[in-house]
Every structure is written in C-alpha cells, then in structure tokens.
Amino acid sequence: MKLIGKGKSKDIYRADNGDIVFEFTDRVTAFDGVKKAEYAHKGEVCCELATYWFKILEKESIHTHFKKKISTNRIRVANLNILPVEVIWRNYVAGSLWRRFERGEIKLPEGTDAREGAPIPNGMLEFTTKFETVDRPVNTEEIINSKWMTEDELINIGEMTRKINDIMFKRLLRKDIILADFKVEFGKTPKGKILLADEVGTPDGCRFWDKQAYVRGEFLSLDKDVFRKNKGDLSAAYLEIFDRITKD
C-alpha cells in the first residue's frame, strides 16, 4: 500500500489492486483547518459508523464506493473520479446556513422560521466547492457552466442525497437523534456511474442533536460541533453517538 494523500481526518492509500484504502485517524480539524487536535477513539468510531451506514444504504439501493472494512480504522473503497462539489442536505437551520442568514446573505426556504434550530419543512440541498482552499457555496448554474457536472448528473445526485437523508433521518429518529444536516460526496466510475463516495453518517460530516434536549429547547450536539464550539470532550460525544446508533 502506498500513501497517496492526507485529508483533514483520513490518510489515503492506494492498494496494490488499484483500490483506495481510507485510514480514519484521530485527527480533528475545524474552520478550514485552522483549529486542530487529536481525540482518542475518533478514528475507530468514524470508521465503524461509515461502514454501518454504507451497508445500510447499499441494502436500500444507494450505490456506494464501499467495499470492505479491513481493520478497526481502515476501509477499502473503489477508486473513483471524485466530483468537485460537496453536497449538503439540511433538515434544520444550523451552522453556515444560520451564519449566512444572520449576515443577510441568504433567504431561508419558504415556511422556515428565522431562528437557529428551526425545521426546514421540505429540507434543503446545497453545494459547495471541494477543491478550493476555503469551501464556498456554489449554485447549480456555476456547477453546470464550469462543467463540474452535467444537469442530469446534478439531478441524479440531488435525488440520491434526498434518499440518503430519508433513510438516515428515519433510523436516527427511532434512536431519539435528530439529523440536522450532513455532507456527502460523489464520484464516477470509469463507465460514468455515479456512486456515493468518501464517508457517510459519521459525526465528522453530520449534525446529530439529542431529540429530548431539542424538545426542551436545548441543543445537545453529538458531533463535531462539540469541538467547533468547545462544548466538552469530543471522544465522549463520539463514543455516545456510536453506542446510540449501533446498539438496538
């Protein structure tokens, strides 16, 4: 195996047969890499949760690049041409959406209350750049004009993301967890088939809120916001969300 890249939290290797191996490390970064730390168990929790969701999604006919979990913190995936946009699905107003709204840069979708934590009645799909130093929101026009994706591919990715949300949202709610928003990435096989790529359903790429606390009017984050907002011990939050998602 040859090391071919280091992401914010994963090390990336190429296997002898051409597959890619992701090693989930304990690294955590926020604010475009400005804030950095390491937390025990983080890599294993994200590896196991990504595996958990990839398997569920595959059963529900979402095609993904996942092949196999090969150790406590490594998975083997197909080598794809990664599309240069990150896809964000939002069920609740949080994070950068709330910040952009407060700055007057964006309107909230129709029927959405103007407060942090408000539900977005039909959900909301957004795109950001992936290969620029700082992630920047992009609209569908720019994506098509820049030839990052065709219109059909965009529609396909939007439908896949909505379906991924439906599957994860329902399952998490049964465990008293609100999926406020999440980020996914997609890639293309040499034959042009679009597959879900990177990782999915981990606390690095999703906002998970405890439902009982939300009903009381509090936000109890079980995700990377614990680190972003200095809300306590990240290892403890990640181990808790891991237990709640994987134990029936």
Q: Which is nearer to ligand UDP, 19 or 23 (CB)?
A: 23
**Closest residue to ligand UDP, based on beta-carbon distance:** 95
How far apart CA 196 and CA 112 sit, in angstroms, is 29
| Shortest spacing between CB 99 and ligand UDP, in angstroms | 7
Least separation, in Å, of the C-beta of 2 and ligand UDP? 26
Distance CA 234, CA 26 (A): 11
Nearer to ligand UDP, 79 or 96 (CB): 96
CB of 94 to ligand UDP, least distance (A): 6
Q: Which is nearer to ligand UDP, 19 or 187 (CB)?
A: 187
Q: What string of H, E and C letters represents the secondary structure of the chain?
A: CEEEEECCCEEEEECCCCCEEEEECCEEEECCCCEEEECCCHHHHHHHHHHHHHHHHHHCCCCECEEEEEECCEEEECCCEECCEEEEEEEECCHHHHHHHHCCCCCCCCCCCCCCCCEEEEEEEEEEECCCCCCCEECHHHHHHCCCCCHHHHHHHHHHHHHHHHHHHHHHHCCCEEEEEEEEEEEECCCCCEEEECCCCCCCCEEEEEHHHHHCCCCCECCCHHHHCCCCCHHHHHHHHHHHHHCC
Judged by beta carbon, residue 19 or residue 204, the one nearer ligand UDP is 204
Helix axes 42-59, 234-246, angle to 10 degrees: 30
Instruction: List residues binding ligand UDP (CB under 6 A).
Output: 88, 94-97, 135, 181-183, 204-207, 224
Question: CB of 146: closest distance to ligand UDP in angstroms?
Answer: 19
Compare residues 73 and 221 and give the one whose CB is closer to ligand UDP.
221
| Residue 205 CB, nearest approach to ligand UDP (Å) | 4
In angstroms, what is the minimal distance from the CB of 74 to ligand UDP? 20
CB closer to ligand UDP, 94 vs 222: 94
